[in-house]
Amino acid sequence: LRSCSPGRARRTNASRRACLVARFGDIYAQERLDAETLLRTYISDTEMVQRIIYIAAVESFHAAKMAYRQFKIRVRETLSLGHSGPESLEDTVMDYIVRHEDLYDVQASVNEVIRSMNINPKISFPPEIDFIVISTLIRELCRVAFSMQTLVPPLDIAFGTDGELFSETKYHRSFDSDFTAALVAYHVWPALMENDVVIVKGEAVTKR
């Protein structure tokens, strides 16, 4: 194991949080639109394109959180063998993960996301194409989701379901929404949450 600096995770928590929240916004503004442009060359249905991207985001957070839990267990098991303080084992584990996030096998998570998307009944893709075409978006989402797990408290995305009551605090309406409709037809982008409080609104389409 490489050496680690005690207390690094705690000291840098606020600055890392600010960077990660900003990065999540950048992905929405840049990589999401790039992926949408790419998908439109294969799929003419706008709703299907937006559903694919939303599900990619949800699955990326799920895969990254699973990978983080497994990574943390391995680090804790290894560090506990020689841990003597002065900081707690938990702090030492977090410091190590923050310093060595490059050890996260992001490609394994990308593969997991694509596998999950291939069996998702809500989305479909022309058989000659693979969801790997949006792997840049998936990779960036996995990276940011993994890093968000190292924060105290960790950040996560809101759980969304088709047909749920539209929430002004959680989502912006897409420009092509029916602004008088009360229910979400489908989601375009997830909201970012901290302790069940929305810190970045997502985007949803409302229709009657």
C-alpha to C-alpha distance for 101 and 8, rounded to whole angstroms: 13
Q: Is 1 inside any structural domain?
A: no
What is the side-by-side order of every strand in the sheet holding 155-157?
Answer: 155-157, 192-194, 197-200
| Domain match, 104 and 24 both | yes
Structure tokens at 157: 């995305």
| Domain match, 193 and 118 both | no
Helix (H) or strand (E) holding 163: none
Q: Is the pLDDT of residue 5 over 90?
A: no
| Domain match, 48 and 109 both | yes
C-alpha to C-alpha distance for 160 and 170, rounded to whole angstroms: 10
The count of structural domains within the chain is 2
pLDDT for 89 equals 65
Query: What range does the domain containing 167 cover?
Result: 158-207
SS3 of the chain: helix, strand, coil, percent, to 5: 55, 10, 35
Strand-pair category, 155-157 with 192-194: antiparallel
Task: Name the residue with higher pLDDT: 115 or 86.
Answer: 115
Q: Looking at residues 9-27, what average pLDDT do you find?
A: 91
Q: Name the residue among 133, 201, 132, 142 with its Cα closest to residue 173.
A: 201
| Domain match, 150 and 179 both | no
| Domain match, 97 and 193 both | no
Q: Give residue-wise pLDDT tens across range 45-102.
A: 999 999 999 999 999 999 999 999 998 988 888 877 776 666 776 777 788 778 888 8
Q: Looking at residues 190-208, what average pLDDT do you find?
A: 96
